[in-house]
Amino acid sequence: MKDVLISRLIVERYFEKLRNSLELDVAIVGAGPSGLTAAYELAKKGFRVAVFEERNVPGGGIWGGGMMFNEIVLEKELEDFLKELEINYTLREDHIVVDSVHFASGLLYRATKAGALLFNNVSVEDVAVQNDRVCGVVVNWGPTVRLGLHVDPITIKASFTVDGTGHPANVVSLLAKRGLVEMKTEFPMDADEAEKFVVENTGEIFPGLLVSGMAVCAVYGGPRMGPIFGGMVLSGQKVAKLISERLG
């Protein structure tokens, strides 16, 4: 039956990807703008990178733009980055305006084309820690976690882990509830301050664990942002640079 052939091809290819991702250079949690940017920058340098996204559709908050007006705004300094990714844009009032669906699609395509593997519908429910250092993530099916089913997870080893989960900062919060790190309360909307805050505070919060994008605001108490995504992209570039320097 052709149906069985199709099923076999899906199963074989998926588990080939999963097997090849059990030991990584970098595990990125969250397929939002900072996570996808970091995945692209690291994968194009040849590092073994996988992104774990608990939702069915990766892309984070990009798709909806501002209040479902599917356009987003970026700083003009990211014009070369968009050209590199071959993403269309327009310049308005010294800012870049991009169709959010086009931007999300472009980031996803370029990151995976560069070699990053992306696992959607997969939740990171814990981290692995050895010798006081995060050394990987503990994953389970997203629906399994949401339904609260008692199904044991599996562990992915990684030299570095990135929390790019946005406002919840899900990975850092796992350490915070154990008293290993401290988290502050995210401040109200302020795009001017938030853009700078996100980039400046992107980095390692616990040995082996780095934080990027809006998760930075949740961890360090910065202002939240709306449909301006430049700081998130710049944060993804910065975290990729920090990790690549460490990995050599």
Domain range list for the chain: 2-61+102-247
Identify the residue whose tokens are 């050895």: 130
What would the pLDDT profile of 177-193 be if each residue is shown by its tens digit? 999 999 998 888 888 88
pLDDT digits 0-9 by tens, 109-147: 999 999 999 999 999 999 999 999 999 999 999 999 999
Largest CA distance in the chain: 59
Closest of 169, 222, 172 to residue 199, by C-alpha: 222
- The structure's pTM equals 0.96
Q: What is the pLDDT of residue 61?
A: 92
Q: Is the pLDDT of residue 196 over 80?
A: yes
Summarize pLDDT for 206-219 with one digit per residue, the tens: 999 999 999 999 99
CB-based contacts of 47, cutoff 8 Å, min separation 6 = 25, 26, 243, 244, 247
What span, in angstroms and rounded, lies between the C-alpha atoms of 235 and 60? Answer: 15
If one looks up domain 2-61+102-247 in CATH, what number appears?
Answer: 3.50.50.60
